[in-house]
Structure 1
């Protein structure tokens, strides 16, 4: 019995060593590229010889065991006769986890008393569809959806839109100021230590290239405007 236990422990230890070697090789290879994203986790993918590399943004790439080859794209499982996007499923979960870690104080949040779920929206004050979506925010709240705004000035982190968004985040009442800005009204200039540039970069890493970019609670991306009732239905179905 003792010999069997020792053998089992040795096999487990050997497996850990085998797994550590590819992970170390992949990390070393990626470190040389000076990527803007950091490696969060490395694990075996369902495809033999290919390793799944999760970046801190939530995005996933794949690497060979020695780290010399990288693959970016979707990995599909067709074993049941249907296309199942394994990459999208893994990315959505990681992105959802990443967004849910943003401190609430760094977001502009419109919430009902008893939220059923939430959405995180990368928004711009000058975007027409962002303004249309904001005009329906009370309806979204009534349907149980908490709206968490993150900043994504489309002209970049140093333009006029970015300065306006910094004033919103630094205002005494960010929610009221956000609404005024979305109505096209002039708002008071304000400055403080704010997360606008950081959130813009996070949006870029997540693949945001337009606004509004709506992420449901499970990390699924809804690109562009959808009427409040339709968005609420999708949000409730993707918690």
Structure 2
């Protein structure tokens, strides 16, 4: 991935049009080099003349305006006594903004009892042991005012047996009960529906840097990997 690319497209005209034109040229050159990748928006970085581009479902790239080289990795700001990870700050904002675009009808939601004090978004897999453990905690979380919103992340990928089970849950008349039954090891009889969001949510999880389940995304975009006991989750949420 970290390679030198030679391009002959002139950039001077693009620079006159401002950063948007530069961003467009960067995408065009990356697509010329690797048309098999899907690229997100180009963004400026804290370093003048250096831009970042997210490969959807892949790594974050850094490049110059000429797209002569790319670097895969993370960028840090050097401050007295510390290095600040700028990439993670950007990822948090990305997750927050993308979460805001999701339709609630595409999630399987277990609402809070009484006043909603917090919302957590959980990427889950019905065949994951710790996902099942977290699901057992949902009633207790609901009782403390936490709304749990589930998103699908079949770890074995699209088309796997787990994926097919999760499609059944998302297509069921009672999605919450179907999800619970699957996590209890029961067989769910539900027809697959064409407009289910399971594959799209799996792809979104990859873009969010989800690598395992359960993975919890807070509403501010913070990613919490792994299972957290109720007490720890409530403490994180300030409840």
TM-score between both structures, scaled by the size of structure 2: 0.83
Give 1:64 shift.
Answer: 0.7
Describe the SS at the equivalent of 1:135: helix
- Take 1:126 and 1:25, find their aligned partners in 2: how far apart are those partners? 44
Q: Deviations over 1:28-85 (max 9, x none)?
A: 1122222543322x33311122123356779743211212222222111113331211
Q: Deviations over 1:142-192 (max 9, x none)?
A: 222221111111222112211111111111110111111112222223221
Number of residue pairs the alignment of both structures matches: 223
1:183 is aligned to 184
Structure 1 residue ranges (4+ consecutive) displaced by more than 4 angstroms after TM superposition: 54-60
Within-5 A mapping of 1:160-171 = 160-171=161-172
1:11 is aligned to none
Indicate the larger mover: 194-203 or 121-130. Answer: 194-203
2:205 is aligned to 203
- Take 1:138 and 1:225, find their aligned partners in 2: how far apart are those partners? 16
TM-score between both structures, scaled by the size of structure 1: 0.83
5+ long unaligned stretches in structure 2: 1-14
Describe the SS at the equivalent of 1:136: helix
Look at both structures and tell me which one has the larger radius of gyration over its CA atoms. 1
Aligned counterpart in structure 1 of residue 228 of structure 2, from 214, 226, 229: 226
Describe the SS at the equivalent of 1:62: strand
5+ long unaligned stretches in structure 1: 1-14
